[in-house]
Amino acid sequence: MRPLCVVSFLAIIYQCAHAQSTCPATGADCTYNKVAVKPATNNEPNRHYYIGGLFGIHERTNDAYACDNAPIREEELINLEAFLWAIDRYKSIHSNISIGGVAFDTCSRYQKTIEDILSFETCKIRVSDVNPPTPRNLLAYIGPGDNYDAMSSARLLKDMNKTQVSYGASTNLLSNKGETYDFFLRTVPSDAINIKALSTLISSTLNAKYVQVLHTKDDIGMAEYMKFKEEAASSGICIVYHSGFSADPSASEIMTIADAVFAKVKTRHVVVLAPESQAKKFLSEMKNRNPQKFTQLIFFGSWNPRAIEGLEVNAYTTSLQSPSNYDTDVNSFYLHLDNLKPGENSKNRKWYEEYFRSKVGCNSLNCDYTNKTILGNYQKSPHVPYILAAVKAVIQGVKNGATKACTSGDLCSNYLNVNNRGQQIYTGIINTTDLSVPYFQTSGSMKGDASNSLSNLKILLYDASKSESIEVATYNPSSGLQLEKTITAYSSSCPSSPCLECNELPVTTTSTASPTSRVTVSTTTDPTEGGKYALLRFPYNEEMTGIFPPSGSRDLYDTRFKTGQRWIIALGVLAGLGVLAVLIFEVYILYKLLGTRIGRQWRTMWLGQLLLLGIFLSYLTLFAFIVIPTDVTCGITRFGVGFCYSILFAVLLVKLMVLLTSKSSDSILADMESPNYLKGIYQFLMFMFAVGVQVVINVQWLIQVPPYAVKVTANYGGEEWICNHFTWQASMGWNDMQNFVRTPFENHLLSLLYIMFLILMTTIVAMKAHGIITNHRESVFIGIAAGFSIPVWIAWGLVGGLNRDNAYAHEYGDACIAFGLFATATLCLFALFLPKVRQLVNMGVEGIYLEDDRDTYYAGSVVMAPPSYKSRPSSMIYVNSGEYSNPVVIGNGDPNHLKHPGSMYSGHSAPVYTKRNDLGGSRVLRVTGDLTGKHPTERRRPVSEIGYSGYAGSYRKTRSESGGTLRKSRSERELGAL
């Protein structure tokens, strides 16, 4: 069994000589053969160096270990051969120095690219040769050509102080040096050049003023869109519609975007900023959706024209134009390639052998290569001249750096030192020129990008009628756009007139408004709309809320999950659990009320029931956030959030006022109805006033700005449905979220200022009432609910407000409002009702809660547990009014026989009720006020328990008491503010 080779944190480099083998503990003998090597011929340390190459030789597969079995990418294989050939071609530039090359197969994976570099640079793998490449003598890398691979490797190589020159990575994100891509260079034109060429063609040659833009949703697609938007604005082009799509869009996603594009078919010009494979799939699906409207469109992109072959549609595309000064070298390379046989010129190059066999149809190992060639069997790579330029620039740059750092021109130790060589080699390469023509731009925002001499583009027109591509123009940043053929300009117009999507204002001739009026009303009407709209002229800096043009037909009714907003899963689950919890609380309370006189309880229960209702409505409102905004859900969320909050905190505030007015005194004991609570009519009026203020605010908002769902451009560049409660300025337009004066979240937050006032007032009053122990110290729990709501509000308010520039700010805003409402409602639910349930569950046999404060005045009487508390109905305690008005405690005695304090009988077996000050720290029985002496004093006679008949002996025995037992009376005790 061959030993196992463990090389790094990723298991991508997994084989040594076609099998997994074990490296020694030092890792020094783990030879890596998945490379193509052109060895240096000199082994003196100061007389040779290597250039690394990063090429995606094999296609990307789902299995990271299946790279060798994946198909070979012809273009990348040709690029590899151009790299090795260029080292031979230009090595004479640096005389007396031997230059070698080593190329890694990245397998079209950025993870593999990073692993190859890191494993080689940290000596976890080595390449076998007489003069092998090492981290010390490998001075720069060429490639990779893929944008994501280049971005990943550039970050890593920057940390290693090694220069990287890409021949194909064109995203303008790589132009942002900062601290990320300091050592990144490229010889290929950036996307910014392609976009500039397309915008110039559209505006100056086709005279088109309106376009639609489609782009990928990733960082690269967004960067391309933002650059095109910038160029379009400077060229007078208006983007009437744009949308992002995923890297692998579903059929439904494509159909949704296609319908939106077809709805604006008058615009005709559609720019597609996407790689060739994605553009081809997207356009094919668009045609399937509506072939008739599809053929009316004209597309623009930087992809190969073959992406639209067979789609019967016209398209303008940009393509690389080989720099003329490399034509000779390019021709020499292809002549070399036509005659190249497997096994020649480089070691371990099994990829070319595999490719050659497939091209010439030679599958036998003993195949004779002598008379076989790949001439005419391959397509030339457009990146070959840029690879040649990259290799030549590196060799010249290393020579220039060595000449400056080392007196002899050799590679001295000071030059190869890890701490010194990075900036020296980079500076030498970026400042290199070829016959006074620079390779790279050396200053400005595009420093390190290809110079203008390497940034030539050609513009091709794919003619659907001829099914062929024709070169119609060229573009160079220095000389601009140069037409080679006459181009037919097709009409392009806006779907609406005036173009509201482009913030156009109608031209009016007369006005009936006064000169001081802020809005000018025209006497004309829009003929394109049948005269049903009046045309208004607003001041340039006018700010408007909720005003927008028609959004067209609705293209999607579904949940937000459809658009990738997965946070609604958590919201839906939590809201459902909240609804269930409220129902359980309510059922439990109703169960405890069974058998009681409900009418006597509502005086103190209705506030608790309203609080439960407010919490229940809060959870129900959350479900409106789950669907993609519609007119109905926008109205529900706009009104419902503030309304639910107002119910919650209005109830809490009224409860506190009730507690504050419940302090007992002798003067109120004569009140027959309720000495302990604010009158019900006053409670109701306070509640209605507190809720009514927020209701007026919400209703006024709904009337002045009717709720609508509108489609606007989100920060990430795609279009999203949002509610129309946002504010925009006339000069900036209504359809771009980046230009909003106030976002929907900010305006919604402003509508809740009154709720913030209620929360603050509730917290302050709760602090004032914290010492009142009425209703089992309810003021403490109200203070907890209101007080903890403040940090909850601060948290979701800051998250939503500070992320307005985030790519998905529209999701942040809605999610913060929704989860903020959930957190506040849940806090109120558990802070107010969990203690109540605990009190009900822990009532004693006699229905008396023994954990109340013993200093309350209301602990002065004892009552039997009402049937709602499920105590034994045969247990009964009577207390004469006034006689035992002080706190009492349970003494020792026989609990099976209860003594009425007014009875003539006495005995050692009866319980004894003693004042608190007699027994010190005894447990106090708390009861309600129906027997505390508030009833009129009546004359009583001592009677036995059997003959005792209540007040004035007016009681008449029932059939159930004919046996001489005590009356099974139902209690009049109030349950408190449930």
d(CA 388, CA 970): 101
d(CA 150, CA 155): 9
Helix, coil or strand: residue 481: strand
Chain CA centroid to CA 373, Å: 54
| Whole-number pLDDT of residue 528 | 43
Query: Who contacts 103 (Cβ-Cβ below 8 Å, separation ≥6)?
Result: 35, 36, 37, 52, 53, 54, 55, 80, 83, 84
Residue count of the chain = 978
559, β-bridge pairs:
627
- What angle do the packed helices 809-841 and 631-660 form, to 10 degrees? 40
Contact criterion met (CB below 8 Å) for 588 and 773: no
Q: Is 537 left (phi over 0), alpha (psi -120 to 50) or beta?
A: beta
| Whole-number pLDDT of residue 142 | 96
d(CA 806, CA 783): 36
Contact criterion met (CB below 8 Å) for 433 and 464: no
Among 206, 109, 178, residue whose Cα is nearest residue 150: 109
Q: How would you class 168 by CB atoms within 10 Å of its CB: exposed for 0-12, middle for 13-18, buried for 19 or more? A: buried
Q: Could you tell me where the DSSP H helices lie in 468-566?
A: none
| Whole-number pLDDT of residue 537 | 67
d(CA 178, CA 154): 12
| Whole-number pLDDT of residue 623 | 94
Contact criterion met (CB below 8 Å) for 847 and 865: yes
Query: Who contacts 396 (Cβ-Cβ below 8 Å, separation ≥6)?
Result: 93, 94, 428, 429, 432, 434
Among 732, 410, 389, 676, residue whose Cα is nearest residue 540: 732
| Whole-number pLDDT of residue 838 | 66
Complete DSSP assignment for 619-675? HHHHGGGTBPP-HHHHHHHHHHHHHHHHHHHHHHHHHHHHHHTT---GGGTT-SS-S
Q: Which residue in the block uniquely carries the two structure tokens 């905190």?
A: 649
Which H or E run contains 365? none
d(CA 113, CA 566): 32
Peptide bond just before 549 cis, omega within 30 deg: no
CA distances from 513 to 153, 537, 538, 746 (A): 64, 11, 12, 33
Pairing of strands 98-105, 48-55: parallel
d(CA 667, CA 477): 95
- What angle do the packed helices 631-660 and 774-802 form, to 10 degrees? 150
Q: Which amino acid type is present at position 734?
A: W
Find the radius of gyration of the CA atoms of the chain: 42
Burial 937-950 (b: 16+ CB within 10 A, else e): eeeeeeeebeebee
| Whole-number pLDDT of residue 359 | 84
Among 439, 112, 175, 476, residue whose Cα is nearest residue 320: 476
Regions of the chain with pLDDT less than 70: 1-31, 129, 178-179, 344-348, 363-366, 409, 505-538, 540, 549-556, 593-604, 662-678, 773-776, 837-978
Among 28, 37, 42, 29, residue whose Cα is nearest residue 2: 29
Query: Who contacts 551 (Cβ-Cβ below 8 Å, separation ≥6)?
Result: 708, 709, 710, 711
Burial 397-432 (b: 16+ CB within 10 A, else e): bbbbbbeebbeeebbeeebbeeeebbebbbbbbbeb
Contact criterion met (CB below 8 Å) for 692 and 647: no
Q: What is the pLDDT of residues 894-948, one digit of tens each?
A: 444 444 444 444 444 444 444 444 444 434 444 444 333 334 444 444 443 444 4
Helix, coil or strand: residue 952: helix
Q: How would you class 704 by CB atoms within 10 Å of its CB: exposed for 0-12, middle for 13-18, buried for 19 or more? A: exposed
Q: Is 336 left (phi over 0), alpha (psi -120 to 50) or beta?
A: alpha
| Whole-number pLDDT of residue 383 | 94
Peptide bond just before 144 cis, omega within 30 deg: yes
Contact criterion met (CB below 8 Å) for 970 and 595: yes
Question: Cβ–Cβ contacts within 10 Å for residue 96, how many?
Answer: 9
Structure tokens at 20: 């997994």
Contact criterion met (CB below 8 Å) for 115 and 14: no
d(CA 756, CA 752): 6
| Whole-number pLDDT of residue 505 | 63
Q: How would you class 888 by CB atoms within 10 Å of its CB: exposed for 0-12, middle for 13-18, buried for 19 or more? A: buried
| Whole-number pLDDT of residue 753 | 94
Among 119, 102, 120, 13, residue whose Cα is nearest residue 348: 102
Q: How would you class 88 by CB atoms within 10 Å of its CB: exposed for 0-12, middle for 13-18, buried for 19 or more? A: middle
Contact criterion met (CB below 8 Å) for 64 and 112: yes
Among 588, 597, 676, 592, residue whose Cα is nearest residue 969: 597
Contact criterion met (CB below 8 Å) for 747 and 555: no
Which residues of 209-347 form beta strands (DSSP E)? 210-216, 238-245, 269-273, 298-301, 314-320
| Whole-number pLDDT of residue 596 | 57
d(CA 723, CA 243): 18
Which residues of 827-915 form beta strands (DSSP E)? 888-890, 913-915
d(CA 533, CA 498): 12
Give the 3-state secondary structure of 665-706: CHHHCCCCCCCCCCCHHHHHHHHHHHHHHHHHHHHHHHHHCC
- What angle do the packed helices 598-622 and 567-593 form, to 10 degrees? 170
Structure tokens at 218: 């990733």
CA distances from 842 to 583, 776, 852, 858, 877 (A): 21, 13, 12, 19, 19
Q: What is the pLDDT of residues 173-226, one digit of tens each?
A: 898 776 678 899 999 999 999 999 999 999 988 988 999 999 998 889 888 998
